[in-house]
């Protein structure tokens, strides 16, 4: 199972309690994880990726194994530790604004 860390505001919005664990078929990519996340929690559609272009929102970043993978291709395989569930996939809101 893929472990996803979701920002607090989105957890509240989607009424998420507890960990977010998703069953994602290989290859495990950003796109595959986000598709699974949105399928589980439809309220999150449009919040991490814009509706039309399906692009990451500018003030969000994705991290895996301590690395910023935000600018990696959507379909690039993520590290094995994320695919195995040993490490989480982080969706992080920028420290910006007030």
Partner 1 sequence: MSGVRVLVGTRKGAFILTSDGKREKWDVSGPHFGGWEIYHLKGSPVDPNRIYVSQSSGWFGQQIQRSNDGGQTWEAVGNKFVYEGVTGTHQWYDGTPHPWEFKRVWHLEPSLTDPDMVYAGAEDAALFQTKDGGQTWNELAGLRRHGSGPKWQPGAGGLCLHTILIDPSNHQRIYIAISSAGAFRTDDGGETWKPINQGLKSQYIPDPNAEVGHCVHRIAMHPSRPNTLFMQKHWDVMRSDNGGDLWHEVSGNLPTDFGFVVDVHAHEPETVYVVPIKSDSEHYPLDGKLRVFRSRSGGNEWEALTNGLPQSNCFVNVLRDAMAVDSLDSCGVYFGTTGGQVYASADAGDHWAPIVRDLPPVVAVEVQTLS
Interface with partner 1 (CB under 8 A)? 7, 9-10, 13, 43, 45-48, 50-52, 57, 59-60, 93-94, 96-97
Q: How far is the CB of 86 from partner 1 (least distance, A)?
A: 28
Looking up tokens 């993978």 gives 69
Of 73, 91, 81, give the one whose Cα is nearest residue 36.
Answer: 91
Q: How far is the CB of 18 from partner 1 (least distance, A)?
A: 19
Q: How far is the CB of 11 from partner 1 (least distance, A)?
A: 11
Residue 95 token pair: 């420290």
Using the 8-state DSSP alphabet, how is residue 84 labeled?
T
* Choice between 51 and 71, CB closer to partner 1: 51
* Choice between 42 and 66, CB closer to partner 1: 42
Distance CA 24, CA 88 (A): 13
């Amino acid at each position: 199972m893929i472990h996803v860390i979701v920002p607090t505001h989105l957890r509240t919005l989607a009424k998420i309690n507890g960990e977010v664990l998703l069953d994602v078929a290989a290859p495990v990519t950003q796109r595959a994880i986000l598709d699974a996340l949105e399928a589980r929690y439809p309220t999150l559609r449009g919040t991490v990726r814009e509706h039309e272009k399906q692009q990451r929102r500018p003030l969000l970043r994705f991290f895996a194994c301590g690395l910023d993978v935000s600018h990696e291709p959507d379909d690039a395989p993520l590290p094995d530790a994320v695919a195995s569930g040993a490490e989480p996939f982080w969706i992080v809101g920028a420290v910006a604004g007030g």
